[in-house]
Structure formats: structure tokens, C-alpha cells
Amino acid sequence: MAVPTLAQTVPFDVFLTQVEQAAPAVRPALVETFWQRLNRTPLIEGDSAAVFLYRGEARVVSLLGDMNGWNKPTPLRRIEGTDLWYRRERVEPEARLEYTFMVDTDAEGFGAELSGVQDERNPHRVLSGFGAFSELAMPGYEYPEVFAPFRDGTPGSFEGLDLLTIPTGVLPYEHEALVYTPPGYADDEAVHYPTVTFMDGRDYVAFAHVPAVLDWLIEQDEIEPVIAVFLDPPNRHGFQEPNRTTEYGLNDDFVTFLADELVPFIDARYRTRTDPESRLIVGDSYGGLIATYVPFRRSDVFGLGYGQSGYHSFQNNTLIRLVQEADVPPIRLYIDVGTYERTVGVGLLPDAEIDFTAANRRMRDVLAARGYDFVYAEYPEGHTWGNWRAHLLDALPHFFPSHQR
């Protein structure tokens, strides 16, 4: 059952005409009445337009979010003589977008969102490493009920996860991993389980609520029970994290660590199935790149890969060219991306590599031409955790369907 999305409660165009035709002295009172009647924002017009509203004294107010690629803030218009600002955006009926308001700042590009202001009349938030952003879900977007308790930006729980330390090996430093075991794991020691390994593991717990997602999918009989391993590069500090970019940047030593050190370490401690078809690696963005690369390189260990908004343009499409030229390994892949991911990492990545939507389409075309077993999907969403967490609900049942399905 889907959670209802926002519905329009106030005819904004009627109000706007009324206030703009009113005498200047009357306008503040009209705005106050309108504001008091307003249940929540943004206002939805029909099925494909949203009106963003901000109230407050300011020199300039702009909208920054998925709709403009988190790159160049889009200005709101102030109703003259009042403190109400507005902006109408046309979006797909199925879109789900995140945003913030920029108030009295001219900041652009990466990092600008850190100085943003949440939409005070919108109770819906999505948490990320940069804080919580306001969320717009259009009428055609079916909100997964598993995330209903977290729509206010509540982080995921780490309760019940095992913490392990993987010793130094091919890489000259230790790694920490958190491990999830499914309900009933302790009840039958004869049962062995598939394993899902998540890159940026703590983010998948805190922002994607993966333990709750897995519990829900198992309870709903959508997937068979699985073990999940949440792995992080050490010494992570936002985007100043050399280990993350080094490990996920098509690093064959990291691939060796995963296949020859992490997997045996986990297999020795948990009742895992050891065939490649029972091992899935999942990642987002940079992690999505390595999640595609690992099965490509080590299909003898990881037979399944799921790249969410993968950085497949990395180093001038290196992985795409490798896939185009190499023999096709016996693997299954799932790749998805948002249609609002056209300017990811502006100012951080080379200009030729920031269009993640286009890069994933190039990867799709090469996979299809080479005859890979894969699924490709696009969604009217951005490069955000709200996107990635929701579509785990599509991909995980594809790889590990319940025996009852």
C-alpha cells in the first residue's frame, strides 16, 4: 500500500491574481491569510506542476535541488510588497525530487546546498551526508510504505548489526564491516544464505535504511532471507576521502581484497552460500562504478552486481570501453539512474564526466550490444539517497526472489 502524496489545498493562481490586483497596503494581510490556510508545501497543480513557496524577508531566494541538478539555483519571484516568494516548476507526474532554498546567497555548484534552508511547511525530509533535504513526491509517485516512518528525515538504525574488523592484507590498512543477519538466522543452523555486500556501507544503513528494507522485503515474502555486509573505506571525511576514490576507482587491489579476503572472512563466520550466483555487490555513484566492475573482473566470486547511479563516465568511460572489448563473463547486472543526474559533481569531476544519466545510457547500450544479462531502469529522480533506497525494492527481488513468488 502506497503512502498518499501531497495534494493541493489552495488554488494558488486565484490567490496570486487576487493579491497582485490588491492595493499594496492590503497585500500583507492577504498573504497572512493564505499562509495560515496553507497545510503544506509545495502546492501540486494537476499531476505535473509544483509551486514552491518561501516566506521571509530576504534580498534573494532561490531553489536548489534535483530540478536544476544542484548546480545553478533557480530564483523565486517575490510578490511585491510582501514577504512571500514563489516558483512554479513543471515536472513528470511520477517524479520525486529533493531540494532546499538558498536565501541571500549567490553560492552555486557543489557545497552550495550546505547553506540551504529547508521548506518549513513541508514535513518530508530525506537524510544524506549533507543533512536533510526537503522532498517533493508528485501524485504519480507511489511512496513505498516501508519508508513511511522515516519521511521526517529520521536516520536508519544500526541496532543488531555485528561489527567486524578485516585485517590488513592486499591493502595496507584495516576495514570495518557491519553485518546484518535475517530474522530466524539463529533458528536453523542448516540453512545457508545469499550475501549482499554494500559499498559505502554505513550510508546504506543510515540513509537507505537497508536493515529495515530487508526485514520488510523478507516479511512481505518479496525476497528470500539474505545476509548483508556493509563495508566502508576507512578514514572517510565527506568528499575529502582518498581511500574511497582510490578503492572505488577501478582499483584491482580493492577487487582482490573483496574477492579473496573479505568474502572468505565473512564465509568463515556466517552461513553463506558460496556460489557466485548468491553473491551480490551494491553501490551508489562511485560505489556504483565498482559494483559493476567487481563482477566483471571476478565473476568466479561475485556473480551479481547492482550499480545505482554509477559513475560510469569515470576516466573517459574506461569501464564502458572495457566491457565493450572484453569477453562477456557469466554475470547478471542491474543498473539504474535518475533522469535528473545531468550535472553530478560540478567543480569536482571533469566536465565531460558529470552527465551520469548519459553515461549510464552508454553503459546500457554496450551491455545490450554485447549480450549481457542485465536490467536497466531510469526514474525521474536525482542523485540522492531517496532515489537509491527506493529502488532497492525493485532490484533485490530481481536477484533473490522469494520461493513463493
For residues 292 and 307, is the Cβ–Cβ distance under 8 A?
yes
| Fold adopted by 162-399 | Rossmann fold (3.40.50)
pTM of the model: 0.93
pLDDT of the residue at 322: 98
Tens digit of each residue's pLDDT (9 = 90 or more) over 57-76: 999 999 999 999 999 999 99
- In the chain, residues under CATH classification 2.60.40.10 are 12-148
Question: Which tens digit of pLDDT belongs to each residue from 187-206?
Answer: 999 999 999 999 999 999 99
- Reported as a pLDDT band with limits 50, 70 and 90, residue 44 is very high
Q: Are 52 and 87 in contact (CB under 8 A)?
A: yes
pLDDT for residue 3:
40
pLDDT digits (tens, 9 = 90+) for 135-146: 999 999 999 999
The CATH 3.40.50.1820 portion of the chain extends over 162-399
Best CATH choice for the domain 12-148 from the list 2.60.120.920, 1.10.1070.11, 3.40.50.150, 2.60.40.10? 2.60.40.10
